[in-house]
Amino acid sequence: MNGETYTVELCSTDEMDIVKTFECGQCFRWNADENGVYRGIAFGYPAKLWTENGRVYLRSYAPAMLWREYFDLERNYAEISRGFCGGGYLDECIAYGQGIRILRQEPWEALCSFIISQCNNITRIKGIVERLCAMYGERVDFDGDTYYTFPTAQRLSELSAEDLAPLRSGYRAPYIVSAAAAVTGGGVDLDALIHTDHVSAKKELLKLNGIGEKVANCAVLFGLHHMEAFPIDVWIRRALKEHFPPDFDPDTLGEYAGLAQQYIFFYARSNPTR
């Protein structure tokens, strides 16, 4: 049952840049309209976010604390960022990416979404995810718009790869169904992996059919909230090769290496000739 809808001033735009946060490749369910208002849904709750006069505003009926946790607003990212040591290029990335926050996404949604992300671009990933939700999620109406929740692992475990053909997800379909079955059947306990270390969590996810290093690390960082994880895709690999010493080890970035990764990824993708 929906609670009372409210509008709240969430934080400053220095604390969270909603464009950078939603467009840095970590999530696929937030989209801006022509006025720059982002609409999305997390943990089954729809919301709208926008900025005015240097402040971020949110409209929803979910408990306000849910959104503060989702956007990780209790953590001081500015202080964390000042602690990174990786040379001049990393400093450029940090300055360019200020305002990005690592979303604390629902574990199953993050895992499934990054399975879909394999060898894919963001526009196409978003399309597949939205079709998946429209077909197998639950409809939620909010402020005159229709949203769909992310389907549960239980729901998707009941399907076959052929059932997912309308998604046009290609070879990823059996991986989605297989992962859903593992999560539902207890082969992988995502909640338990939140409370283990990031290396052990990644090791467990790598046991799943079709899960490689990059997808596992993304799920560990964005879904299990282990900020030490450092996913390496084509953009990160290129940046490391061109702008860091050959022996550079991302582990030296410490317990928030995943935040540094997002700064590097966002800067590298936004400035491909740099």
| Amino acid symbol at 129 | V
| Amino acid symbol at 178 | S
Q: Which of 20, 202, 214, 241 is catalytic?
A: 214
User: What stretch of H or E contains 170?
Assistant: none
Tell me if 117 sits within 8 A of 128, measured CB to CB: no
Residue the block writes with tokens 């990059």: 214
214 is catalytic: yes
Read off the tokens for 55: 């402040």
CA atoms of 21 and 100, how far apart (whole Å): 5
DSSP 8-state symbol, 254: G
DSSP3 helix / strand / coil % (the chain, rounded to 5): 50, 15, 35
Read off the tokens for 134: 């429209």
List active site positions: 214
